[in-house]
A and B are shown apart, each in its own frame.
Chain A
Amino acid sequence: MNVLLVLIPVSLVLAACGLIAFIWSLRSHQYDDLDGDAWRILVEDEDAP
């Protein structure tokens, strides 16, 4: 059962990574304009080399 001592922290850290990634995306306004971002990917980027 000693494997638990490794696996539990690993699973918690992994899940926490997901949580932190979500909170980061929320804070950086990535959910503010879902329709616009879906279209923006189709716009030619003029600054690109």
Chain B
Amino acid sequence: MTATAPIVACPGCVAIPSDDSGPETSGGLSLHLPGIHCAACIGTVERGLSLMPGVKSARVNLSRKRVVVDAPGVPIDDIVQRLAGLGYEAQPLDALMMSAVEGDAEGRRLLTRLAVAGFAMMNVMLFSVAVWSGAAEATRVLFHWLSALIAVPTLIYSAQVFFGSAWQALRVGRLNMDVPISLAIILACGMSVYETAQGSEQVYFDAALSLTFFLLVGRYLDHRTRLAARSAAQELSALELPWATRVTPQGPQTVAISTLAPGDYVIVASGMRTPVDGDVIKGETQMDRSLLTGESLAVEVGPGARLAAGEVNLGAPITMRATAVGEDTTLRRMIAMVETAEGARNRYTALADRAAQIYAPLVHVLALVTFAGWFMATGEVARSLNIAIAVLIITCPCALGLAVPAVMTAATGRLFRMGLLVKDATAIERLAEVDTVIFDKTGTLTEGHARFDASALPKATQAVLAALVRQSQHPVSVAIASALRPDIEEAALTEVQEIAGKGIVAKWHGQDVRLGRGDWLGAAGSPALQIGQETPVVLSMSEVLREGAREAVDGLRAQGLNVALLSGDTGVPVQIVARALEISDAQSDLSPDQKCDRIRDLTAQGKRVLMVGDGLNDTAALALAHASISPASALDASRAASDVVLLGRGLQDVPLAVTLSKSARRRVLENFGIAASYNMVAVPLAIAGLATPLTAAIAMSLSSITVLLNALRLRAVK
């Protein structure tokens, strides 16, 4: 890392304007620092920033790779520049967006409740052990009163989480898992207070507390997974800098994109993304449209050309006149399409909720039947109620509350260590169900930029080519130059001349040599090379497969999944990639809508589709598919629409992600089975009126611990 490292928020998408310093900071400012990793980095960053005039304080958070700077009135860009000077690439994060994640007040509240419940549970358990081992009458009553003293306030405080969510569900006339939980806790607590006052032996404070404790553990794990998912999503969208450079009578000005209006003149600097739809007014350049259309080669544009928002300027700066801004841009319309598709997917019901929908009514009916049975048999209200409550406590879905979060935490942690960021809480469940995998080509199976294979050309031609491409900064020339062997001797050229929009011409041994567009040279394809009056040779630009693409396709096929290739690119390149990877089902020239239609067709046939793609043309498809994965190099919108982001360069971990998800799903189902089998033993005892507080405590702790251990087995999946 050097002090002159380019500061680009995301390679190839957003460059920070160098001449303008952007809006001023309004106090607390968060910056993402991907490069910090040790104590020296913390020291350098904090010291370096605090020596800046105007900076009050700077604090690095290494876990989140972030620095919070308190510097009222200091422009963001000064801070970014300063960090670049220190050798750290920095990306400003939207402060408002980040504050929700940063504080994590919810997590702290849950942990506090968990700590209080744990404290109370341990103390009450100590009293209970004394009672179970046969304490005398007076001691037992004393211990029960002490337990009540600890348990009642603790339950009121710690179990609020469940009461709140149960009440919300009941108000709209639905049953969720928290309804039987809350009912069991409230009834167990109420009955135990009554029994304590009666001086009886059947007191369930310990069971109610350990229930609360274990369920809070599950709730906290669940919260952690969701928080990680949410912060990943927000971090990705926060990377997009919402500024544009507008031409005004006073000169260029950096403004927020939202203030642009149709008719405004906007400068798109080299390396920047077009902020709005519009026409080119001044300048000629090449635009990279690959994220929008999937085209792998850059497109030449000049005055009058139409540009859509989201294209990247690869060449010289251009000025464009905005024709559509804000919600009307191609980009926004695409995003709206994505949101519609996402809405459909949000209707997916998590496994735990599906289990709860069956389980909760069953438990309530069982308790009710038990009460009715005992009341008819004995006529004693108190005794019947007592036994019915024992049934509710024993059947309380403790393991259900813990089964899913524990497995999901283990699975997301495991995937993260492999370089896969899980963004959606139910992603793993959905990933486990897929049977068809659809890949996009450009940027997903291939590296996104084309590469040139020179080995087939004769030596002399290579020498001419090497000399020609050296003279040009055109992206195609640069790509060819990088593909030629460095030891090739360049031919001696004279009178080199670049013809804009056509190519490059020079004299070599007295004859003209030309490199340029196919139609200019009369060749069948672009780019082509012509030496003298010979037939022009089309230089075949081939795409390089992404690292691990073959392993990913083979691995998925070995698992019995169907693999297909859907691309917006033209026929030949798609066929080459499909043949290289032995994918028989490959389609080219597809519009984003056609990709979506294909997924809808497959879904209608009962298939569950996993979409792997990166471009904006895939975004709607990503959101529509049952599950989706995008590489880290993908456009923000695509990463936002997908469930899993691949942080590494390779694709080879995709099959493992599917395997891991499948075993996670299996673990969850096993956990449900374990919980059910405990119930199978304990519930008949409870219905028969034989359940004691001791059996309740043992059944509950054992099932919770077994479920946790079973979840941890995921760490061993190969």
Interface residues of A (CB under 8 A from B): 1, 4, 8, 11-12, 15-16, 18-19, 22-23, 26-27, 31-36, 39-40, 42-44, 46
Known contacts: A33-B62, A35-B63, A36-B63. The answer to whether A19 contacts B115 by CB under 8 A is: yes
Task: Kindly state the separation between the CA atoms of A12 and B47 in the bound complex, as whole angstroms.
Answer: 46
Q: How far is the CB of A40 from chain B (nearest CB, A)?
A: 6
With A1-B139, A15-B122, A43-B39 as given contacts, are A22 and B115 in contact (CB-CB < 8 Å)? yes
Q: For residue B138, which residue of chain A has the nearest CB? A: A1
Bound-state CA distance A42–B60 (Å) is: 15
**B→A interface (CB under 8 Å):** 38-40, 42-43, 47, 60-64, 104, 108, 111-112, 115-116, 119, 122-123, 126, 139, 142, 146, 150
Return chain A residues, CB-CB under 8 Å to B111.
26, 31
Task: Find chain A residues with CB under 8 A from B115 CB.
Answer: 19, 22-23, 26
Partner of B62, one of A4, A11, A36, A42: A36
B62, B108, B126, B139: the one contacting A39 at CB < 8 Å is B62
Task: Establish whether residues A26 and B112, one from each chain, have CB atoms under 8 Å apart when the complex forms.
Answer: yes
Contact at A12–B123, with CB atoms within 8 Å? yes
Cβ-closest chain B residue relative to A8: B146
In the bound complex, how far is the Cα of B580 from the Cα of A5, in angstroms?
81
Q: How many angstroms between the C-alpha atoms of A19 and B119 in the bound complex?
A: 7
**In the bound complex, how far is the Cα of B65 from the Cα of A39, in angstroms?**
13
Chain A residues in 8 Å Cβ range of B38 = 39
Q: Is the CB of A42 within 8 A of B123?
A: no
A23 with B112, Cβ < 8 A, contacts A32-B61, A36-B60, A36-B61 known: yes
Contact residues of A: prevailing secondary structure: helix
Chain A residue nearest to B150 in the complex (CB)? A12
Return 13 A-B CB contacts under 8 Å, by A number: A11-B123, A15-B119, A15-B123, A16-B119, A26-B112, A33-B60, A33-B64, A36-B42, A39-B38, A39-B42, A40-B39, A43-B39, A44-B43
Alpha-carbon distance between A46 and B150 when the two chains are bound, in angstroms: 48
For B39, the chain A residues whose CB sits under 8 A away are 39-40, 42-43
Q: Which residue of B lies closest to A18 (CB)?
A: B119
Q: A15-B122, A15-B123, A39-B38 are in contact. Are A26 and B64 (CB under 8 A)?
A: no
Shortest distance in angstroms between A3's beta carbon and chain B's nearest beta carbon?
12
Q: How far is the CB of B31 from chain A (nearest CB, A)?
A: 15
Residues A27 and B108 in contact in the complex (CB < 8 Å), given A1-B139, A39-B38, A40-B39: yes
Q: In the complex, A32 Cα to B231 Cα: how many Å? A: 14
Q: Are A33 and B63 in contact (CB under 8 A)?
A: yes
Q: How many A-B residue pairs have CB under 8 A?
A: 54
**Of A22, A33, A36, A46, most B-chain CB atoms within 10 Å:** A36
For the complex formed, measure the closest distance between the CB of B333 and the CB atoms of chain A, giving whole angstroms.
Answer: 40
Query: With A26-B111, A32-B63, A33-B64 in contact, do A40 and B122 touch (Cβ < 8 Å)?
Result: no
Give the nearest-CB partner of A22 in chain B: B115
| Chain A contacts for B63, CB-based, 8 A | 32-36
Question: Which residues of chain A have C-beta atoms less than 8 A from B60's C-beta?
Answer: 33, 36
Q: Which residue of A lies closest to B115 (CB)?
A: A22
* Nearest B residue (CB) for A34: B63
Nearest CB of A to B209, in Å = 14
Contact A19 B123 (CB under 8 A): no
Check B43–A43 contact: CB distance below 8 A. Answer: yes
Q: Which residues of B contact A33 (CB under 8 A)?
A: 60-64
Q: Is the CB of B112 within 8 A of A43?
A: no
Whole-angstrom distance between the Cβ of A39 and the nearest chain B Cβ: 4
Could you say which residues of chain B place their CB within 8 Å of the CB of A31? 111
Bound-state Cα–Cα, A39 to B139, Å: 51
Chain A residues in 8 Å Cβ range of B104: 32
Chain A residues lying within 8 Å of B122, measured Cβ to Cβ, are: 15
* C-alpha gap A27/B105 in the complex (Å): 9
Selected from B43, B116, B139, the residue in CB contact (under 8 A) with A19 is: B116
Chain B CB count within 10 A is highest, among A18, A26, A39, A42, for A39
**B178 → chain A, closest Cβ, in Å?**
24
Contacts of B64 in A (CB 8 A): 33
Q: Which residues of B contact A18 (CB under 8 A)?
A: 119
Shortest distance from the beta carbon of B479 to any chain A beta carbon, whole Å: 40
Please measure, in the bound complex, the distance between the C-alpha atom of A16 and the C-alpha atom of B115, giving whole angstroms. Answer: 10
Q: Give Cα distance in the complex from A40 to B123, angstroms.
A: 37
Q: Least Cβ distance of A17 to chain B in Å?
A: 10
| Residues from chain B with Cβ under 8 Å of A12 in the complex | 123, 150
Nearest-neighbor residue (CB-CB) of A12 within chain B:
B123
Interface core residue of B38, B60, B119, B146 (most chain A CB under 10 Å): B119
Closest to A9 in B: B146
- A2 shortest CB reach to chain B, Å: 12
- Inside 8 A of B119's CB, which chain A residues have their CB? 15-16, 18-19
CA distance A33 to B46 in the complex (A): 15
Bound-state CA distance A36–B126 (Å) is 38
A19-B119, A35-B63 given as contacts; is B139 within 8 A of A40 (CB)? Answer: no
- Known interface pairs A12-B123, A15-B122, A39-B39; A26-B61 also in contact (CB < 8 Å): no
How many Å lie between the Cα of A8 and that of B147 in the bound state? Answer: 11
Give CA–CA (A43, B111) in the complex, Å.
30
B-chain residues with CB within 8 Å of residue A1 when the two chains form the complex: 139
* Cα–Cα, bound, A11→B122 (Å): 11
List the 10 closest pairs (A to B, CB-CB), nearest first. A36-B62, A39-B39, A19-B119, A42-B39, A33-B61, A35-B62, A35-B63, A33-B63, A43-B43, A43-B39
Known: A34-B63, A36-B42, A36-B62. 20 other contacts (CB 8 A): A1-B139, A4-B139, A4-B142, A11-B123, A15-B119, A19-B116, A31-B111, A33-B60, A33-B61, A33-B64, A35-B62, A36-B60, A36-B63, A39-B38, A39-B62, A40-B39, A40-B42, A42-B39, A43-B40, A44-B43
